[in-house]
A and B are shown apart, each in its own frame.
Chain A
Amino acid sequence: MSERKVFHPTERELLMAADGELASHEHDAIRRHLETCWDCRARMAEIEGTITQYVHLRRRELDAVFPPLDGPKAELERLLQAKSIEASVPEQLGSIRLLPLWQLFPRPIWISATATVTILFVLISTTFAPTLSASVLINRAVKAQSQGELHYQAIEYHVGSRKWVRHAAKRAKSEKIAAGDTELDALSRTLAFDLSDPLDAQQFARWRNALSHKTDSIDHFGGNLELTTENRGAGEIVRAHFVVRQHDYWPIEERLETRQGELITIAEVTPTESASASPVSRIPERILANPSNEVVAPPKPTLAELAQSELMARVAMHQIGADMGEEVRVQPGSSAILIVGRTESRAREGQIKQVVATVPWVQTDLRPLDAPSTYRVTPVRTRGTTIQNAPTIPLEQQLSAAIPNFDERVEFVNAILTSSESATEHAWALQHLAKRYDERQIRLLSPSSEQMLNLLVQSHDEALRRELDQIDSEISRILGSSHTTVPESDVRESWQQSADITLRSVRSLHETILTNLSGANGNETIPTAEEAAQNLRRQLIDSKAAVAVLQQSVSFH
């Protein structure tokens, strides 16, 4: 009997037991087993421990990320309010009428009908993705306008066969009185649609909300979304089209059709934002019979053009230091270079947008973090103060001997930390460039672009060396001059490999500095002063050697 084999629960059973997902008898069996088996109990404890750690990590990472509830809640309330007014009459009728129809036909017919409708729906929704509701579209347009710093440069009006252009900036309506303004005012009054504030999403929303009966449809043209609202009730405007750019919901055109058959087109003459936009979108000639104007496919960049734009974007971002570990990525696509990510502030977002504005084929999708987030950790500035109450700084004696004044000491450590942090960032940037610019990508570059890439790499490389030299000379102050000689190396590594190695060694140099000069070590054993000094020197030599190899290995000179 005692030789009977004991069956230990599997990992899955343990997890399910912990989650209360087992049937009660299974659960009891496992509980009894755990009472007898320490081994399994330890496994169970590890599972629970893992879950606890995960929950804590998640809390730490996510809890402060989201903006407070109030704003979004108020917005939802507003949307619900709009929805309840808009949806009240027709939808209820619809659902009542549907029911008897449902029961009129025998089962097989409506099953096949449902199948057909589903297939059609799938087809339509995949062809015309994205599907969104009119109110969401308008809502996003309102948001885009309320956030946008941009104005419309010039707006063109077509009323019947007449046409005029207004140069008034959106925010300064009174600035300019164009020839047609009196006519516009008159028109605004007849239409009950304020034309003096053209392309205003809120104005469109006001008009649309006031309609008693309406149907909406959204079409997708080129890179734009067009909302068409049909007015089935009273009112001078029978149909209105509201066109927004798909990628940022910025309104670019309005077309109003009146009861008299007149078409009023309002559109921006010069594209407001992206340099990548296709040539000035002129207003199409007045075509009443066939409003689905054919959109000429925008020109598509070649791979080489894209490669060049990408590099230009990288260089531009380098100029403002946005390529050193910020959450902003340059993401190459098949028809555009996308700059995506989160910026610390709206100002930073503007800065990045500004420097890349002149680069062709570039689109930005940046979101500033409004609320302070736990995602970016504040830099090392304050860490020097740990000297005061942390007795575990291995090189403390050397530090105090070389720099007796406490404040100076703090400053000294901070300076080294800043250098090593900046070195890490440059090494990181270099590693990213090395990863991105493999042979294939470099082949796409023109000679001048290659030169540009070279300069970009050199700039990081020089900065990295400068920081390392700086660290070297600072460390010599406390450890005595040693002038480290960097061993000659003839190892043939690829650019990518040596960039990896460089990043790794610069990172561990930074870590060593943290541990030995500011005492920011984890649970590791504290090294003696000699060990620390040796370690620091070795890491520094390693880093310098790695940088030397890196420079030789750059593959595109």
Chain B
Amino acid sequence: MSTYFSWQMPYSEILAESPDDVAEDDGQVRVGSDPSLPLQSKVTALFAQLRAPLLRYLWDFRLPSETAEELVQEAFLKLFEELKLGRSVQMPRPWLFRVVHRLALKEMRRLRVREVPEPIQDGEPDPLEIADFRPTPAEQLLLDEREQRLSRALKSLPLRERQCLSLRVEGLRYREIGDVLDLSVTTVSDVLRRAVATLREACYE
């Protein structure tokens, strides 16, 4: 059966430093390597591993937290349906990111079209482009200065650049990022270069 898969997870070294990540998965995600497990438990096991990364990725979309949670569940339901129909999902990790990305876009469109048709204000940033939950005055002061600059720079990045960074930090390769966002590898590397350059300027100005 082609529904079983296993793959390497290229976690960056920094992420692998963290003890909880090591405990959760030691660089390997194997789903379906044990054919005796029913499909349902395989999907659930994968959910346990990838829910947090997917939620973190959705953070930039600034959807209500419950919606984000539902979208992630919906993506896993889709995965389950795919596998149940006997279709193979070669790389579940980028696959799930891609599905979640599309669902989130759809949800954003729904929110924008049906509920938030914001009349564009002069000079006012698009609320969905630059999510404006700025830190409160008190928080602002507590962050250390460099982090504050970095955080500001991060918030000033275009959504696309933030998405590329989020996907990269979750361990996706450039090609996989391109698959999720419908970009070429060259574009991905360029977007990442720009994003890192902006952040770097903020860190080392």
A341 to B65, CA, bound (A): 10
Q: Is the CB of A57 within 8 A of B189?
A: no
A-B contacts, 13 of them at CB < 8 A, read A11-B197, A20-B10, A53-B147, A54-B169, A55-B15, A59-B18, A81-B40, A136-B70, A331-B127, A342-B133, A363-B115, A365-B115, A367-B65
- In the complex, the answer to whether B141 meets A510 with C-beta atoms within 8 Å is yes
Q: Which of A69, A510, A522 contacts B51 (CB 8 A)?
A: A69
A136 and B14 contact, CB distance less than 8 A:
no
B115 touches A49 (CB 8 A): no
**In contact, A84 and B14 (Cβ under 8 angstroms):** no
Nearest 5 interchain pairs by C-beta: A325-B136, A424-B137, A50-B200, A12-B193, A334-B117
A51:B196 contact, CB within 8 angstroms: yes
Please, which residue of chain A has its CB at the minimum distance from the CB of B123?
A435
Query: Which chain B residues lie closer than 8 Å to A514 at the CB level?
Result: 141
What is the chain A residue whose CB lies nearest that of B199? A50
A interface residues with partner B (beta carbon < 8 Å): 11-12, 15-16, 19-21, 46-47, 49-62, 65-67, 69, 72-73, 75-77, 79-81, 83-84, 87, 91-92, 95, 129-133, 136, 140, 143, 246-247, 325-327, 329, 331-336, 338, 340-342, 363, 365, 367, 369, 376-377, 379-380, 421, 424-425, 428, 435, 438, 507, 510-511, 514, 520, 522-523
Q: How far is the CA of A16 from the CA of B185 in the complex (A)?
A: 11
| B118 and A130 contact, CB distance less than 8 A | no
In the complex where A247-B115, A331-B118, A331-B127 touch, is A129 in contact with B109 (Cβ < 8 A)? yes
B69 to chain A, nearest CB (A): 6
Closest beta carbon of chain A to B172's beta carbon, Å: 11
| CB atoms of B203 and A21 under 8 A apart | no
* Bound CA–CA A228/B168 (angstroms): 42
Stretch at the interface among B26-34, B76-84, B91-99: B76-84
A to B contact number (C-beta, < 8 Å)? 196
The CA of A55 and the CA of B203, in the complex, are separated in Å by 13
Query: Is B7 part of the binding interface, using a Cβ–Cβ cutoff of 8 Å?
Result: no
Q: A19-B174, A20-B10 are in contact. List 16 more A-B contacts (CB 8 A).
A: A15-B196, A50-B199, A55-B15, A57-B151, A58-B56, A58-B169, A73-B47, A76-B43, A76-B73, A81-B40, A326-B136, A363-B115, A365-B64, A377-B136, A421-B138, A435-B124
Interface contact A342-B56, CB-CB below 8 Å = no
Bound-state Cα–Cα, A327 to B204, Å: 30
Q: In the bound complex, what is the Cα–Cα distance between A511 and B12 (angstroms)?
A: 37
- Residues of A near B52 (CB, < 8 A) are 66, 69
A377 CA to B143 CA, complexed, in Å: 10
Q: Are A77 and B65 in contact (CB under 8 A)?
A: no
Which residue of B142, B193, B196 has the most chain A CB atoms within 10 A of its CB atom?
B196
Q: Do B110 and A129 have beta carbons less than 8 Å apart?
A: yes
Contact A507 B137 (CB under 8 A): yes
Minimum Cβ distance to chain A for residue B146 (Å) = 7
- Choose from A12, A15, A377 the contact partner of B138 (Cβ within 8 Å): A377
What's the minimum C-beta distance from B40 to chain A, rounded to whole angstroms?
A: 5
A57-B154, A73-B47 known; A129+B145 contact, CB < 8 A: no
Which one, B18, B84, B132, B165, contacts A87 given CB within 8 A? B84
B169 & A77 in contact (Cβ 8 Å cutoff):
no
**A54 & B165 in contact (Cβ 8 Å cutoff):** yes
Contacts of B113 in A (CB 8 A): 129
Counting CB contacts under 8 A, is B25 at the interface?
no
Residue from B44, B165, B197 in contact with A76 in the complex, judged by beta carbons closer than 8 Å: B44
Bound state CA distance, A80 and B40, in angstroms?
A: 7
In the complex, what distance in Å separates the CA atom of A12 from the CA atom of B118?
37
Given contacts A50-B203, A341-B133, contact A76 B115 (CB under 8 A): no
Q: Is the CB of B141 within 8 A of A57?
A: no
**B173 in the interface (beta carbon within 8 A):** yes
Residue of A nearest to B136 (CB): A325
Interface residues as binary, B103-134 with A (CB distance below 8 Å gives 1, 0 otherwise): 00011011001111111011010010000110
Cα distance A333–B168 in the bound complex, in angstroms: 35
Asked if B192 and A15 make an inter-chain contact with CB atoms under 8 angstroms apart, the answer reads yes
CA separation between A46 and B199, bound complex, in Å? 10
B190 x A12 contact (CB < 8 A): yes
Q: How far is the CB of A39 from chain B (nearest CB, A)?
A: 14
Among A51, A59, A77, A507, find the residue whose CB has the most chain B CB atoms closer than 10 A.
Answer: A51
Given the interface contacts A62-B56, A325-B136, does A72 sit within 8 Å of B69 by beta carbon?
A: yes
B84 touches A46 (CB 8 A): no
With A12-B190, A129-B110 as contacts: A522 and B145 at CB distance below 8 Å: yes
Tell me the nearest residue of chain B to A130, going by C-beta.
B110
Cβ 8 A contact of A327, one of B84, B133, B137: B133
* Known contacts A46-B203, A66-B65, A365-B64: A379-B138 contact under CB 8 Å: yes
Given A83-B81, A424-B137, are A377 and B193 neighbors across the interface (CB < 8 Å)?
A: no
What residues of B have a CB within 8 angstroms of the CB of A523 in the complex? 145
Query: In the complex the two chains form, is B106's CB within 8 Å of A129's CB?
Result: yes
Contact code string B47-60 (vs A, CB < 8 Å = 1, else 0): 11001100110010
- Can you name the residue of chain B whose Cβ is closest to the Cβ of A136? B74
Interface check B35, CB cutoff 8 A: no
CB distance from A87 to the nearest CB of B (A): 6
**How close is B92's CB to chain A, nearest CB, in angstroms?**
15
The docked-state distance in angstroms from the alpha carbon of A91 to that of B83 is: 12
Contact A87 B118, CB 8 Å, known A55-B169, A62-B56, A66-B52: no
1/0 contact trace for B182-200 toward A, CB 8 Å?
Answer: 0001000110110011011
Q: Is B119's CB under 8 angstroms from A47's CB?
A: no
Indicate which residue in A76, A84, A424 contacts B84 across the interface (CB closer than 8 Å).
Answer: A84
Q: Shortest distance in angstroms between A310's beta carbon and chain B's nearest beta carbon? A: 12
B85 CB–A CB distance under 8 Å: yes
Contacts of B65 in A (CB 8 A): 65-67, 342, 367, 369
- Is B86 engaged at the interface, CB distance under 8 Å to the other chain? yes
Question: Shortest distance in angstroms between A305's beta carbon and chain B's nearest beta carbon?
Answer: 14
